[in-house]
């Protein structure tokens, strides 16, 4: 991928952990910072849809280990993502950015239902669309949903922000000192090496449909804006 790509439309995945600023719940200062970066990028003309995780509240697999039934725990995880969506909507509107939340589980009082064609109309009008409640189905992750939404709304790329790492490495650099940073990598290699940074299902969807994926660190104060603006950051994964 060349430097300073100009995207027409992208899906940005934000992990729930980022929203919590390291703890359970939402850290308003962190969300305000993310909203300011998205607002800056949208003023440059790129169409932005956001998928937010819920790991700052619940992860189904973790609750299952502690005795809960998996599907019910996954629904709790999905509901957690919606709280993050509302927090981001609030701070985006404070930035003067028109925003719509669409959820895969209908909850008419707080959000629109997920209607892809409507989402695309919002994007064309310069609104940020925030997708909540994952796919509305247990046993899925929001990484996979980001790839699916990007394909369905015909985005140019899916931008995956991650906590604790700034790019794709051959192994987890936090635990393995021999981990080597990869500047670019193919989906095939990512799948073969069983790289854990993004779900394998998300890699497969992108590979089959030739959708480029950027993996980058969310912690720098400016990294989300840089990724959205097509600046050189993180690792591109391509077919």
User: Measured from the CB atom, is 17 or 156 closer to ligand UDP?
Assistant: 17
Q: What residues numbered 9-38 form the site for ligand UDP, per CB under 6 A?
A: 15-17
Contact 152, 120 (CB under 8 A): no
Contact 12, 228 (CB under 8 A): yes
Of the residues 50, 60, 97, 215, which one makes contact with ligand UDP according to CB under 6 A? 60
* Spatial separation of the C-alpha atoms in residues 137 and 105, rounded to whole Å: 9
Per-residue contact flags (x/-) with ligand UDP for residues 109 to 138, judged by CB under 6 A? -------------------------xx-xx
User: Measured from the CB atom, is 140 or 169 closer to ligand UDP?
Assistant: 140
User: Measured from the CB atom, is 52 or 228 closer to ligand UDP?
Assistant: 52
* Spatial separation of the C-alpha atoms in residues 96 and 88, rounded to whole Å: 12
Q: Kindly state whether residue 54 participates in binding ligand UDP, applying the rule CB under 6 A.
A: yes
Cβ at position 78, least distance to ligand UDP in Å: 5
Q: Kindly state whether residue 74 participates in binding ligand UDP, applying the rule CB under 6 A.
A: yes
Q: Kindly state whether residue 198 participates in binding ligand UDP, applying the rule CB under 6 A.
A: no
* Residue with token string 């794709």: 168
Q: How far is CA 168 from CA 81, 114, 172, 222, in A?
A: 25, 31, 9, 19
Of the residues 77, 132, 212, 230, which one makes contact with ligand UDP according to CB under 6 A? 77
Contacts with 75 (C-beta within 8 Å, 6 or more apart), sequence order: 60, 105, 138
User: Measured from the CB atom, is 8 or 119 closer to ligand UDP?
Assistant: 119
Q: Kindly state whether residue 217 participates in binding ligand UDP, applying the rule CB under 6 A.
A: no
User: Measured from the CB atom, is 74 or 156 closer to ligand UDP?
Assistant: 74
* Spatial separation of the C-alpha atoms in residues 103 and 79, rounded to whole Å: 10
CA atoms within a 13 Å half-sphere pointing along the CA-CB vector of 178 = 0
Q: In the sheet that 213-217 helps form, which strands lie side by side, from edge to edge?
A: 112-113, 99-103, 128-132, 47-52, 9-14, 157-162, 213-217, 235-238, 184-186
Q: Kindly state whether residue 103 participates in binding ligand UDP, applying the rule CB under 6 A.
A: no
Question: Which residues make up the interface to ligand UDP (CB under 6 A)?
Answer: 15-17, 53-55, 59-61, 74, 77-78, 81, 134-135, 137-138, 140-143, 145
């Amino acid at each position: 991928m060349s430097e300073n790509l100009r995207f027409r439309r992208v899906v940005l995945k934000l992990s729930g952990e980022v929203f919590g600023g390291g703890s359970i719940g939402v850290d308003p200062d962190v969300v305000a910072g993310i909203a300011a970066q998205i607002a800056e990028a949208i003023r440059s003309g790129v169409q932005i849809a956001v998928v937010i995780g819920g790991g700052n509240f619940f992860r189904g697999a973790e609750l299952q280990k502690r005795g809960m039934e998996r599907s019910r725990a996954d629904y709790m995880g999905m509901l957690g993502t919606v709280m993050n969506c509302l927090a981001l909507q609030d701070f985006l509107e404070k930035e003067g950015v028109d925003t719509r939340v669409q959820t895969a589980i209908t909850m008419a009082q707080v959000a629109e239902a997920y209607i892809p064609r409507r989402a695309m109309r919002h994007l064309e009008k310069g609104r940020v669309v925030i997708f909540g409640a994952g796919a509305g189905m247990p046993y899925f992750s929001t990484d996979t949903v980001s790839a699916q939404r990007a394909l369905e709304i015909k985005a140019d790329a899916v931008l995956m922000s991650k906590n604790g790492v700034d790019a794709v490495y051959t192994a987890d650099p936090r635990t393995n000192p021999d981990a080597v940073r990869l500047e670019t990598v193919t989906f095939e290699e990512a799948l073969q090496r069983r790289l854990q940074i993004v779900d394998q299902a998300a890699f497969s969807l992108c590979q089959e449909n030739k959708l480029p994926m950027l993996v980058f660190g969310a912690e720098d104060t400016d990294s989300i804006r840089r990724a959205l603006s097509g600046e050189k950051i993180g690792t591109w994964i391509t077919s």
